Structures are given as C-alpha cells and as structure tokens.
Amino acid sequence: MVGVKSVPSPTIPSPTISADDRSHEVDHPSSEVALFGADQPLRLDCGVDLTPFQIAYKTYGELNADRSNAVLICHALTGDQHVANVHPVTGKSGWWETLVGPGRPLDPSKYFIICSNVIGGCMGSTGPASINPATGKVWGLDFPVITIPDMVRAQAMLIDRLGIDTLFAVVGGSMGGMQVLQWTAAYPSRVYSALAIACSTRHSAQNIAFHELGRQAVMADPDWHNGAYADQGIHPHRGLAVARMAAHITYLSDAALHRKFGRRMQDRELPTFSFDADFQVESYLRYQGSSFVERFDANSYLYLTRAMDYFDIAADHGGVLAKAFAGIETRFCVVSFTSDWLFPTSESRALVHALNASSARVSFAEIETDRGHDAFLLDVPEFFDISRAFLQSAGKARGLTGKNG
C-alpha cells in the first residue's frame, strides 16, 4: 500500500440552512395563521385539551358566493401548507404543483383551495417544535401525542373559522389520504366529495415497523437529548436524516431505483474501498436526508409518524370498517398505484369494499406505474386525468360553475 487516499466523511452532510430559518417558521410562519384561544381548545384523543393553539394555512383562489367551491388539501407526513407556492425555507416550488395550479385538476380559478399545516407539524401549526406558552420553552416531548383524528378536528375548526360549512372536496395522498378518510368518517355531511390517494384506513404492521426504525434513528442521535435539543440550540440532524433515508426507500420501488441509479458509481470509475458514497443511490439518499433536515423538526417527525401508526378507522367503529361509512353520501374516488408497497392496492381495495358495503358512491382506479408510493407527487398523467374527471363530475353534480367547467 502506497499512500493513504483522503476519504470524505462517511456521515451525512450538515444542513446548509440555519436552524433559525426553520425555527422562525415554527411559530411565525410566512403563511396565514388561525389562532385559537382559551375559549376554543382542541380536544385531543389522548385526553388533553390543547390550548391555545394555532393552525398555519395557505389558500389559493376565491370562495364563491354560496361557499360551495372550497377544497381542502391534506398534506402527507413531511409536507406542509405550501402546496402550490415557493417554499419559504427551501425556496423550492410547491409540493403538489403537479395537481394544483392554473390548468391543473385543482385550478385556483375554479376552486377555493385550502391547505393547512397539520397540528403537530413544524411549519406554523402548533407542534412539539412550538413554544409552550406555559413554560416559555419549546414543547419538545412535553407536547401531547396527537392522532390523525386530532389533525382533522383542528382542520375542521379552521374550516369553521373560514366560514365554510361543507367542503366541495377533501383531497390527499398517503397521510393526507388518511385525513381525507377521517374527514368523511367524522364529518360525512361536511364533505361533498373525497379523493383519497395511495392511502389506507389503517397503518399496517410493516409501516409501523418502518416508522419505529425512523424514530429509533432520531432517538439514537446523541444530539437528540431526550427531545430537549432546542434548549441546547442544536438539532439531531443525523438521526433525522437516517430516518428520512429509510423512509424514502419505502416511497420508491426497486424498479424505480434501478431505472434511476442501477449500480452506477458517483463521480468515479472504481470503488474507493471505503464507506464513502460510491454508488449514485447512496449519494441520492444522503442528499434526500440532508435536505430534509433543513426544513423539518426531529420531534415533529416522531409525533407525526406516531399519529399515522395509531390510525385505524375500523377500530374506532367496533372493528367493522363499513360502519364508519354507513349511510354516507360523500362521493369517493380512491386511487392506488401498482408499485406502491407502503400502501398497496389491496388496502385501497379493502376500503372500496367497505364503501360498497356502505352503499357509498365510489370510484376506484389502480394506476400502473413503477414509481412506487411517491407516484402521487409525480407527473403521472393518468392520475391527473382521473382526478380531474372525478372533480369535474362531482362539480357538475354539485352545480359548481366556473372556468374549465
């Protein structure tokens, strides 16, 4: 052996955006905020009344005269309210601009589109990264555990605040899809139509297992400090990045990874015989991990994954899923993707069977793609065609008029 080659650190690069940028959005978001004072506590499933609290949200388009064109978009685990505008922290475009925008299935010239950051999130809605008014310090693990029904209850309070009785549509994928289903189960008369994408009525054991892996990665980071890292002015970015890397793999498919990266090397011909990111797929995951920690809070990740784990609509209705939707008049459209192994088609099918058993009006389509769970965020024309058609026909039945009729 002659000489020693300089090998870059095998760890994940540190974030380039300062914690201050992110923490500012936690309590003082650059979007609209609805504040709920002591007179309007949020009753949580864990038995705690959360008060005061705030919900950060964005709206696009205008509410029509009879308040019948409001669409609520529910974001996925690591999404936020910035669905169709430049993100204030990352500077990137909105996470669902493929679906929302002029000429898109959700056109702001036709619908009044609302997207709120979920309770427990870290982009302006009250969550573990927020300041606990009782102590003046960051909540951390003192924040009560929240559930998907809690998120929806908070959204309903926001919708009330906006003066909307019935939502024309509630739309969401993944954790957002869970919220869509919870909306229909909890407030059937307030949801005219529901578009539930790549989701399930309950989180599977496999998915809980992946979430536990992510949480353990966060908690194993020495910077985590039992959730009180904010007091130390640090952020457990390594653990959170590992959690994100593991989760990201579940959002893709083997075929998509192979198509994108194969076994190709990154910036080199030969392996370095080290634990550097030799393979492109490794670099990609490290990038995904590091860019995620720039905009997301580690404790928030723990809380939101926990909320998904607890989700089980049937369990809330005596174990019979159909009971959750008994007599429902909401028009449903359920969409799944063939290569989604996080929320496989079989789970959507179980939902559709339950809706059929409840005599609900339901459409269900499985879309063929090798892009995995993430397909709902990508440019999949067939998915947009179906979304557009479903919303248009529901709009027709609802008597909505407007551009792109």
Mode of pairing for the β-strands spanning 42-43 and 49-50: antiparallel
Interaction with another protein in 294-313: which residues (CB under 8 A)?
none
Six token digits for residue 110? 């036709």
Nearer to another protein, 104 or 248 (CB): 104
Verify whether residue 223 is a known catalytic residue: no
Cβ(199)–Cβ(178) under 8 Å? yes
End-to-end, the C-alpha distance of the chain in Å comes to: 72
CB of 372 to another protein, least distance (A): 18
Do residues 113 and 17 touch, judged by C-beta distance below 8 A?
no
Q: Which of 211, 235, 237, 373 is catalytic?
A: 373
Angle made by CA atoms 382, 385, 388, in degrees to the nearest 5 = 150
Task: Please choose, out of 246-254, 256-264, 284-292, 380-388, the segment that lies near another protein by the rule CB under 8 A.
Answer: 380-388
- Rg, Å, the chain Cα set: 21
397 binds another protein (CB under 8 A): yes
Identify the residue among 32, 223, 370, 382 touching another protein (CB under 8 A). Answer: 382
Number of residues forming the site for another protein (CB under 8 A): 27
Find tokens 């909890």 and name the residue: 186
- Residue 174 is a catalytic residue: yes
Catalytic residue flag (residue 340): yes
80-108 residues labelled b (16+ CB within 10 A) or e (exposed): bbbbbbebbbeeeebbbbbbbbeebbbbb
Among the residue ranges 79-87, 264-272, 292-300, 384-392, the one whose residues contact another protein (CB under 8 A): 384-392
Shortest reach from residue 404's CB to another protein, in Å? 14
The residue from 107, 278, 309, 340 that is catalytic is 340
Q: At what angle do helices 205-220 and 237-251 cross, to 10 degrees?
A: 160
Q: Which lies closer to another protein via its Cβ, residue 249 or residue 322? A: 322
CB of 365 to another protein, least distance (A): 5
Q: How many CB atoms lie within 10 A of CB 232?
A: 10
Site string for another protein, 336-375 (x = CB under 8 A): -------------x--xx--xx-x-xxxxxxxx-------
Residue 41 or 188: the one with the smaller Cβ distance to another protein is: 188
- Which residue's entry shows tokens 């302006």? 124
The token duo for 166 is: 């019935």
Nearer to another protein among residue 59 and residue 393 (C-beta): 393
Contacts of 46 (CB under 8 A, 6+ apart): 144, 145, 146, 147
Active-site residue list: 174, 340, 373
Q: What does the binding site for another protein look like in residue numbers (CB under 8 A)?
A: 331, 333-334, 349, 352-353, 356-357, 359, 361-368, 382, 385-386, 389-390, 392-394, 396-397
